[in-house]
Amino acid sequence: GRTDDANDAFGYGLFPGQYGMVLLSRFPVDRAHVRTFRKLLWKDLPDAALPVRPDSGDSYYSDEILQRFRLSSKSHWDIPLQIGDTTLHILAAHPTPPAFDGPEDRNGRRNHDEIRLWAEYIKGHHQNWLRDDRGRVGGLKAESRFVICGDLNADPVDGDSFQNAARQLLEHDRVNAAFVPQSTGAAEAAVQQAGKNRSHTGPAAADTSDFNDRSVGNLRVDYVLPDASATVVSGGIFWPAPGEPLADAIDCSDHRLVWLDLQYNTSTSSLRPGDASEQSR
């Protein structure tokens, strides 16, 4: 068989870096404390949802492959930003879509566990299996402030995600997910495009992606999720309705930009509304 096609890689791509990530910040990055988990093996996640062959129950991947198979299809980043005298950890990832596989659901299960990595990471510091790419062990300290952001490729109620993967974060006690960004453009698109959208149960106004209406429909897959100590001042999704300003700008992607303004109301924090505004495409 071939070993140079887009599927024969740790994450799907026609060339190195395709579907990768970038973080743009107007605040300084604490480079010494940046952590990445690109090389963490899937098998090392406790109780990993590794795929099995439905006909036999045997592991879908051989032991040889699992010794090299990474959990992260692109990467998982913990990037500390210095905002005044406060450190805000940006936890960014782009899990594989839960599709383009077979009855073993290998991509759906991987997507679930890529999201679960952040759910485990924010639980606390004492997790010895959590080893970053520089060999440092443990999760995020309990007092740390953070924002989880990115295209997670998982809708909490609709779509084909494995075991409603996004709920691992949306229902996490360290995450403030009460505020759900919305847009009028998303609501109108679901009505106008119809198709699969008509069977969805989640709020159409919260959709962040414009997918094939015959097979998937529009979904909420892009997130900006602050920690529980944050107050959401405002937020939304950049999805202008037809005829609204910049409506043509959304044609550059089938995903939409999500934004939040956050405030941390503590005596030691210098974060103000607008300071911690993050974006996810």
Q: What is the predicted pLDDT for the residue at 5?
A: 79
User: What is residue 268's predicted lDDT score, i.e. its pLDDT?
Assistant: 45
The pLDDT of residue 263 is 95
**How does strand 145-151 pair with strand 222-226?**
antiparallel
Is there a domain that residue 235 lies in?
yes
Does position 275 have pLDDT exceeding 60, yes or no?
Answer: no
Three-state DSSP at 16 gives coil
Judge residue 100's burial from the number of C-beta atoms within 10 Å of its C-beta, 0-12 exposed, 13-18 middle, 19 or more buried. Answer: exposed
Structure tokens at 221: 């897959």
Kindly state whether residue 8 falls inside one of the protein's structural domains. Answer: no
- pLDDT tens digits, one per residue of 5-56: 788 788 888 888 888 899 999 999 999 999 999 999 999 999 999 999 999 9
Question: For the segment 92-101, what is each residue's pLDDT rounded down to a tens digit?
Answer: 999 999 999 9
pLDDT at residue number 3? 67
Torsional sign, CA 118, 122, 123, 129 = positive
Q: Looking at residue 7, what is its pLDDT?
A: 81
Across the range 147-172, mean pLDDT stands at 98
Does pTM surpass 0.85?
Answer: yes
**Range of the structural domain that residue 217 is part of:** 31-280
Residue 26 lies in a domain: no
**SS3 of residue 204 by DSSP:** helix
CATH number at residue 82: 3.60.10
Q: What confidence score (pLDDT) does residue 8 get?
A: 79
Q: Of 27 and 277, which is predicted with more confidence?
A: 27
Per-residue confidence (pLDDT) for residue 278, from 0 to 100: 37
Quick one: pLDDT at residue 106?
A: 97
pLDDT of 277 > 80? The answer is no
Q: Tell me if 248 is assigned to some domain.
A: yes
Query: Is 200 within the bounds of a domain?
Result: yes
**Structural domain includes residue 76:** yes
Encode pLDDT of 237-274 as tens digits.
999 999 999 999 998 999 999 999 999 875 544 454 44
Residue 15 lies in a domain: no
Segment 194-252, tens digit of pLDDT = 999 999 999 999 999 999 999 999 999 999 999 999 999 999 999 999 999 999 999 89
User: Which has more confidence, 177 or 18?
Assistant: 177
Closest to 136 measured CA to CA, from 267, 67, 36, 249: 36
CA distances to 29, 101, 125, 209, 235 from 255, rounded to whole Å, are 26, 22, 33, 4, 17
**Is residue 236 a part of any domain in this protein?**
yes
Indicate the number of domains in the chain: 1
DSSP string computed for 227-278: BTTEEEEEEEEE-PPTTSTTGGGGGG-SB-EEEEEEEE-STT----TTTT-E
Q: In which band, very low, low, confident or very high, does the pLDDT at 113 lie, cut at 50, 70 and 90? A: very high
Cα–Cα distance, 240 to 34 (Å, whole number): 35
